[in-house]
Chains A and B, each alone.
Chain A
Amino acid sequence: MNLTLRIWRQPNADAEGQMVTYQVADVSGDMSFLEMLDILNEDLILRGEEPVAFDHDCREGICGSCGMVINGQAHGPERTTACQLHMRHFADGDVIDIEPWRAGAFPVVKDLVVDRSAFDRIIQAGGYITAPTGTAPDAHAVPVPKPDADTAFENATCIGCGACVAACPNGSAMLFTSAKINHLNVLPQGQPERESRVLNMITTMDEAGFGGCTNTGECAAACPKGIPLASIAKMNREFLRATRKAGR
């Protein structure tokens, strides 16, 4: 199929960006979205032009590196990552808009690449547990109730791609932060930092300049890993609990 792409081109963080139109020919439906961009980039390099910069790593949908807003939707029309989005979901002659994640806390580095170190700072603020060094403990030494294990695992599937922030009309990082907090807060291993984790991670999230949550649900709808909106309610409950305890 032949496609028209309108891609956000921005040479560096300080430059003004703009949408630039490109044509891509002979795209196979079996290609992933990133492979389609590879074809475009090979073509651009042959023509002596600057290739389109975009983040990618595993291309298996598990690393969270890739991410772009395709036709106004984070990761495109399918509920998966851009690398796992296949071109069969598009038709010959389609015009596809490709933009970077847009958030004040995610400044554009170049073209479709954004700086997501705000997420790293949130993780540094509480996304860890206190564990003794030395030999690894027995796997069954700490019993975890099945429902807790399920909740922890559901939230732990977050790959930190940032689609929630990109999709949120307010540029809020509540879904990401809640997934990371809930993942550790429901487990026995996460108990020593249960209160400080939620307080510190939310403070860091706010300081990074993310927006506030207005419960639109756009984040959960865009999340390639299916983190539910209920995670945010659970984080709010943990926050209220920690605030009460901190007051004592």
Chain B
Amino acid sequence: MATTGVIMLLFLIVHMAGNLKIFFGPTDFNGYAHWLRTIGEPALHYSWYLWIQRVVLLGCLVAHVVSAIQLTHRDIHARPQRYRSKRPWRATFATNTMRYGGVIIALFVVWHILDLTVGAVNPRGEAGHPYQNVVADFQVWWIGLIYVVAMLALCLHIYHGFWSAAQTLGANNAARNVAFKTIATILALVITVGFLSVPVAVMTGLVS
């Protein structure tokens, strides 16, 4: 879970940074989207790089979800008899909601691909015009809401997930603990604010 999580986190950072191109206008943003398909040319053909990335990410996602299911299955079986008394939780909200947040994010990924990659559920859904598709999306209030909810779930997921990966991979120790928690907080906030800036900008009319 840690390894695949870190790979997907790296992708999210790049994805978020790329999204900010929208603030430079339709020409820049659509040009950037086109450029993504030309990465690796002439060694790779048009949009081959994107397909390689999609395969890697899908592999990570499947491995991540399968590990999560195996872990949950194992954890449930490790305590067949529940406690009768209510246990006071000391762990953070983010830690306790990893599984639910993960489900929300997984459903969102399906929606997001149908919306802005395939264009099937997009109000405009015109290939080659991502800027216009994005703007059409967030002019519908409930689509904006889907994105906001998913990004908040992602924020909590990264906050616990990054530090947790440091624990799992053995990179953490007593001296580095505060540093890893701080980086986790910064990463979670930067990625969430970065992603949310796009729908918020469209909804407030900053990007149209």
Contacts and interface: CB of A to CB of B under 8 A. Distances in A.
Contact of A233 (B75, B80, B160, B166): B166
A93 interface: no
Contacts of A234: 170, 173
A171 B170 contact: no
A233 B164 CA distance: 9
B140 interface: no
A72 B86 contact: yes
B60 to A, nearest CB: 19
Contact of B85 (A71, A211, A216, A217): A71
Interface in B30-82: 71, 74-75, 77-82
Contacts of A69: 83, 85
Contacts, number: 107
A233 B78 contact: no
Interface stretch (A34-42, A50-58, A101-109, A184-192): A101-109
Give chain B's interface residue range (CB within 8 Å of chain A): 20 to 34
Contact of A73 (B71, B88, B160, B177): B88
Interface string A206-233: 0001111111111001000000111011
A125 B45 CA distance: 55
B167 A239 contact: no
Interface in A124-164: none
- Residue of A105, A209, A236 with most partner-chain B CB within 10 A: A236
Nearest to A100: B81
15 contacts: A73-B88, A97-B85, A99-B85, A103-B78, A167-B87, A169-B87, A171-B78, A211-B74, A211-B79, A214-B75, A215-B168, A216-B91, A216-B95, A230-B172, A234-B170
Interface of B: 71, 74-75, 77-91, 95-96, 98, 160, 163-164, 166-174, 177
